[in-house]
Amino acid sequence: MTLDVTLIEGDGIGPEITAETVKVLEATGLRFSWDRRLAGMAAVDTVGTPLPDDTLESIRKTSLALKGPLTTPVGTGYRSVNVGLRKAFELYANLRPARSIVPGGRYQGVDIVLVRENLEGLYVGVENYVQVGSDPRAVAQSMAIVTRLGCERIVRYAFEYAVRHGRKTVTIVHKANILKMASGLFLEVARQVATEFDGRVASNDMIIDNTAMQLVMRPEQFDVMVTTNMFGDILSDEISGLVGGLGLAPGANIGPSAAIFEAVHGSAPDIAGKGVANPSAQMLAAAMLLDHVGEVERGNRVRAALEDVIVGQNIRTRDLGGTAGTREFGDAVARRVG
């Protein structure tokens, strides 16, 4: 079997961490056909646009992409490449797992999967000024758009994920006590979907502000969480902080016809080219890609190898308290996988 994958190396540290991730994936023994494409600043510098048509066409053909972090030019009129990809392929589900790996941290035993709705809510970008300028009565408006279809499919995705992966509980996160329509619709639909999984997956619901507090007080109470776009954006970073930061945080953006896997951190231009970046998040995203195509055993091998390198062999990049470079770390994981 040869797996066709669109490979977007990205900007900043992207090419470095992606190269090590490709090395680890190929060490699993699965054959890959990499279609290397540009996006972000690398694409702007080469073809004048951050999201070239041939990159989109490649993803349409492969239905799979492994993407490094991208830089969207600031103040130049370019839209976010990540938002553009989500819209182009209707990537409605943002999957963000977080699990404790590094011993000695403040939180141990964390194993949470956050499922975030990716296309609706406040992030649809419907905004306007009612009055502008220096007028003290100036008003800006942002509209949260939530649809029954969007709520149902993201909640159903979360419950089906829980069933597939042997998870026990789904927590529905909302603000329906105040946002009675937008968040109220989400909670109403979520509770309806939850009844279909009675006896297979337990469920509860929690208000967003209480959720944020409970995460730092007793994170072990959470298993799978599902929520709307902006709440998910904020909570996913908080959850990443519980397990050591964004250097260990992978993500997947999944839709009906395509799935894109990535490290969720930025392109870190300040350390680009220095060989010190941590490729763990990108490797963990690659493991999620393997899970997605049914290669769960290989995905588990990648995760086990990475954990053994960090914990068992104590080979760590400097953000994890070690001295290993990007290539040294990648070589160690690849050896362990193979």
- Using the CB atoms, write b or e for 226-253: b if 16+ within 10 Å: bbbbbbbbebbbebbbbbbbbbbbbbbb
Catalytic (active site) residue 123: yes
CA distance 64 to 291: 12
Instruction: Exactly one of 233, 291, 319, 331 is catalytic; name it.
Output: 233
Contact 13, 267 (CB under 8 A): yes
Length of the chain: 338
Question: How many CA atoms lie less than 13 Å away from 236 in the CB half-sphere?
Answer: 27
Instruction: Exactly one of 54, 168, 209, 274 is catalytic; name it.
Output: 209
Tokens linked to 10? 């990205």
Instruction: Exactly one of 92, 175, 319, 331 is catalytic; name it.
Output: 175
- Facing residues of 33 across strands? 4
Residue among 64, 63, 44 nearest 52 (CA): 44
Q: In whole angstroms, how far apart are CA 309 and each of 13, 274, 313? A: 21, 21, 5
Instruction: Exactly one of 111, 223, 237, 308 is catalytic; name it.
Output: 237
Instruction: Exactly one of 11, 67, 92, 123 is catalytic; name it.
Output: 123
Q: Which of left, alpha, beta for 133 (phi over 0: left; psi -120 to 50: alpha)? A: left
Q: How many whole angstroms from its chain centre is CA 17?
A: 16
Catalytic (active site) residue 175: yes
Q: What is the DSSP letter of 50?
A: S
Catalytic (active site) residue 107: no
Catalytic (active site) residue 237: yes
Catalytic (active site) residue 209: yes
Phi then psi dihedrals of residue 313, to 5 deg = -95, -10
CA distance 157 to 132: 41
Contact 7, 66 (CB under 8 A): yes
**Residues with catalytic roles:** 123, 175, 209, 233, 237
